[in-house]
Chains A and B, each alone.
Chain A
């Protein structure tokens, strides 16, 4: 079974700073990759996904992620964060079955 590792448990940064959240997975075959976000008090929602094609994926709210197959990574980025980006972020991977495996999550706190 695949496993997903998120590098940071909690990230604190100021508005307008750049954000990068690391995600690595352990599976050698074809994968589908996702980033989900959970804003305080809300349900999980999809930020972006990668199935195939261009390894640089753009999502909602100015987020993007880059799939680097050789590094088994799918890092999430945003050039300039806002206070409203305060949330918990989850990387998820699905290989050759129905199951989606999630990382432990990264809490992002943006200070105004």
Chain B
């Protein structure tokens, strides 16, 4: 089974803090993704990566950056967290279909 592990299930941060969300996959997939999930809006793509050190902006990249130094690890970074970034963040890898992690619920106060 594909395993996608997100480092933190729940985080509470303050406005202006830097936030790191980590994602690790064990299936040697090249493509990795970060989505945010909000009620009534579905999943929206923030960034994706199709290879080590490669990244592409998704539909809502503003306020986020990513890092992919190793194939199995894809990190999402909020340089200065804001309250409108309170959300559920989902990491995924793909091999024809997407495989999701369990999500990281971030609350920014």
Contact = CB atoms under 8 A, between A and B. Distances in A.
Contacts of B44: 102
Contact of A44 (B31, B94, B96, B100): B100
A100 B42 contact: no
Contacts of A9: 40
B41 A104 contact: yes
Interface in A17-65: 34, 36, 42-46, 49, 51
Given A34-B97, A46-B97, A90-B42, A98 B90 contact: no
A49 B99 CA distance: 13
B42 A45 contact: no
Given A90-B42, A104-B40, A105-B42, A45 B48 contact: no
B60 interface: no
Interface string A82-112: 0000000010100000111111110000000
B48 A1 contact: no
Contacts, number: 51
Interface pairs A-B: 5 shortest CB-CB: A102-B43, A104-B42, A44-B100, A102-B42, A43-B102
Interface of A: 1, 4, 6, 9, 34, 36, 42-46, 49, 51, 90, 92, 98-105
Given A4-B42, A43-B103, A92-B98, 15 more contacts: A1-B59, A34-B98, A46-B97, A49-B96, A90-B43, A92-B43, A98-B31, A98-B48, A98-B50, A99-B58, A100-B33, A100-B94, A104-B41, A105-B40, A105-B42
29 contacts: A1-B59, A6-B42, A34-B98, A36-B98, A42-B102, A43-B100, A43-B102, A43-B103, A44-B98, A44-B100, A45-B100, A46-B98, A49-B96, A92-B43, A98-B48, A98-B50, A99-B45, A99-B48, A100-B45, A100-B94, A100-B98, A101-B59, A102-B35, A102-B42, A102-B44, A104-B40, A104-B42, A105-B40, A105-B42
